[in-house]
């Protein structure tokens, strides 16, 4: 019985170790981090329904202003944070944070405009297009290679967007700007050597003069909703900081731990959730043209899911083989 008990104990230990290693791999590879970020982004339209008709510029300014103390607070709890001396010495990363902050500002403004002006479906389309931008940027600038499933995904996504362009006779400008800006942000983040929190803090710091100037301009023109709002509405404006930062923390951490191709694939989670909210909860118009367009994009999504699962299984097989050899 003792021998049998010891055998089961050894087996349980190996199983627990394997599960722990696999969980650690998921976190370290960036896949789990990316999934969490996109789920949180997917449900943000629910929050912005509390601020209907809000000005994107004022929302951006309030986000930035309240993000500074929040990021400083979070940074205190990060053990492996970049030291301030190292930050000041790395001028290249500081300069890259300027460009990433500009891309982030464009993405934020277009996104909040869509959510606060009953265009959640446009936001959904923008982030369905975004993975295409991410994949293309990854191939061009980072020399990433696509497998056959990913190539089919690109073809189907282009077909879906192209069909909508052909039928409506105009480009979905809001969606293109939104998707392209966020893809550029992800690419630039690859070249910043600071930790996640420090990077976000530097990016926000670059935009603080713009935020303060925007608030002064809006107040002088008597167009500031925040200054004349009740306490509850002001609280909602303050909440835009944590609502924005939390998924962005997951995303920037994922960028450091995986490829732009994987980021592009996982990002389909967000627009899918936004699409469901727009059609079934917010009752936005969804005609036959959009039905065909989104169907083609969803077929691309299936190809993306297949490619992502295949990559993950191959990585687990390789790791299990290495682990069994050590045992």
Q: Is residue 55 part of a domain?
A: yes
Q: Is residue 312 part of a domain?
A: no
Phi-psi region of 195 (alpha: psi -120 to 50; beta: other; left: phi over 0): beta
Residue 26 has pLDDT above 50, yes or no: no
The enclosing H or E element of 306 equals helix 288-326
How far apart are the C-alpha atoms of 118 and 50, rounded to whole Å?
12
Domain of 172, in residue numbers: 32-150+168-286
- 325 vs 289 pLDDT, higher one: 289
Which of 15-19, 34-38, 70-74 bottoms out in mean pLDDT, i.e. has the lowest? 15-19
Residue 86 has pLDDT above 90, yes or no: yes
Domains in the chain, number = 1
- 77 vs 63 pLDDT, higher one: 63
In this prediction, residue 28 carries a pLDDT of 53
Q: Is residue 20 part of a domain?
A: no
- 69 vs 142 pLDDT, higher one: 69
Structure-derived torsion over alpha carbons of residues 276, 277, 282, 287, reported in degrees to the nearest 10:
-20
In this prediction, residue 19 carries a pLDDT of 34
Instruction: Give, as one character, the DSSP assignment of residue 280.
Output: I
Q: Is residue 16 part of a domain?
A: no
C-alpha distances (whole Å) from 110 to each of 105, 113, 161, 192 are 9, 5, 19, 24
Q: Is residue 272 part of a domain?
A: yes
Structure-derived torsion over alpha carbons of residues 136, 137, 143, 146, reported in degrees to the nearest 10:
-30
C-alpha distances (whole Å) from 24 to each of 18, 33, 317 are 10, 11, 15
Name 55's Cβ contacts closer than 8 Å, sequence gap at least 6.
Answer: 218, 223, 225
Instruction: Give, as one character, the DSSP assignment of residue 172.
Output: -
In this prediction, residue 264 carries a pLDDT of 63
What is the pLDDT averaged over residues 194-219? 92
In this prediction, residue 10 carries a pLDDT of 37
Q: Is residue 144 part of a domain?
A: yes
Q: Is residue 304 part of a domain?
A: no
Q: How many CB atoms lie within 10 A of CB 169?
A: 7
Residue 301 has pLDDT above 50, yes or no: yes
In this prediction, residue 188 carries a pLDDT of 92
The pTM of this model reads 0.76
Residue 78 has pLDDT above 50, yes or no: yes
Residue 113 has pLDDT above 50, yes or no: yes
In this prediction, residue 147 carries a pLDDT of 81
State the pLDDT confidence band at 261, using cuts at 50, 70 and 90.
low
Whether the Cβ atoms of residue 44 and residue 243 lie closer than 8 Å to each other: yes
DSSP per position, 104-170: HHHHHHHHHHHHHTT-HHHHHHHHHHHHHHHHHHHHHHS-----HHHHHHHHHHHHHHHHHHHHHSS
**Tokens 């023109």 sit at which residue?**
221
State the pLDDT confidence band at 12, using cuts at 50, 70 and 90.
very low
Q: Is residue 300 part of a domain?
A: no
Nearest residue to 124 (alpha-carbon basis) of 5, 240, 282: 282
Instruction: Give, as one character, the DSSP assignment of residue 195.
Output: -
Q: Model confidence over 31-60: pLDDT tens digits?
A: 788 888 888 888 989 998 888 878 888 998
In this prediction, residue 20 carries a pLDDT of 38
Q: What is the CA radius of gyration of the chain?
A: 22
The enclosing H or E element of 34 equals helix 31-42
How far apart are the C-alpha atoms of 25 and 299, rounded to whole Å?
29
What is the pLDDT averaged over residues 257-264? 69
Residue 229 has pLDDT above 70, yes or no: yes
The enclosing H or E element of 316 equals helix 288-326
Whether the Cβ atoms of residue 120 and residue 279 lie closer than 8 Å to each other: no
State the pLDDT confidence band at 8, using cuts at 50, 70 and 90.
very low
């Amino acid at each position: 019985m003792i021998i049998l008990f010891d055998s089961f104990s050894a087996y349980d230990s190996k199983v627990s170790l394997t599960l722990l290693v696999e969980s650690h791999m998921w976190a370290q590879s960036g896949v789990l981090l990316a999934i969490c970020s996109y789920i949180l982004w997917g449900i943000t339209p629910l929050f912005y329904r509390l601020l209907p008709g809000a000005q994107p510029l004022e929302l951006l300014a309030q986000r930035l202003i309240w993000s500074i103390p929040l990021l400083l607070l979070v940074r205190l709890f990060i053990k492996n944070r970049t030291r301030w001396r190292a930050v000041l010495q790395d001028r290249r990363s500081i300069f890259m944070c300027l460009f990433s902050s500009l891309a982030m500002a464009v993405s934020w403004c277009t996104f909040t405009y869509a959510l606060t002006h009953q265009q959640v479906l446009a936001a959904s389309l923008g982030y369905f297009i975004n993975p295409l931008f991410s994949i293309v940027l990854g191939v061009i600038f980072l020399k990433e290679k696509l497998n056959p499933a990913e190539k089919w995904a690109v073809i189907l996504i282009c077909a879906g967007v192209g069909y909508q362009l052909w039928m409506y006779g105009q480009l979905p400008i809001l969606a293109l700007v939104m998707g392209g800006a966020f893809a550029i942000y992800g690419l630039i983040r690859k070249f910043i050597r600071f930790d996640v929190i420090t990077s976000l803090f530097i990016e926000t710091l670059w935009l603080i003069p713009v935020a303060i100037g925007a608030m002064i301009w809006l107040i002088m023109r008597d167009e500031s909703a925040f200054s004349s709002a009740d306490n509850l509405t002001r609280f909602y404006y303050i909440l835009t900081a944590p609502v924005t930062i939390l998924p962005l923390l997951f995303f920037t951490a994922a960028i450091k731990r995986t490829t732009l191709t994987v980021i592009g694939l996982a990002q389909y989670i967000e627009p899918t959730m936004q699409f469901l909210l727009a059609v079934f909860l917010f009752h936005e118009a969804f005609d036959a043209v959009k039905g065909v367009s989104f169907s083609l994009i969803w077929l691309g999504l299936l190809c993306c899911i297949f490619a992502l699962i295949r990559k993950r299984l191959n990585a687990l097989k390789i790791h299990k083989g290495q682990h069994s050899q050590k045992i």
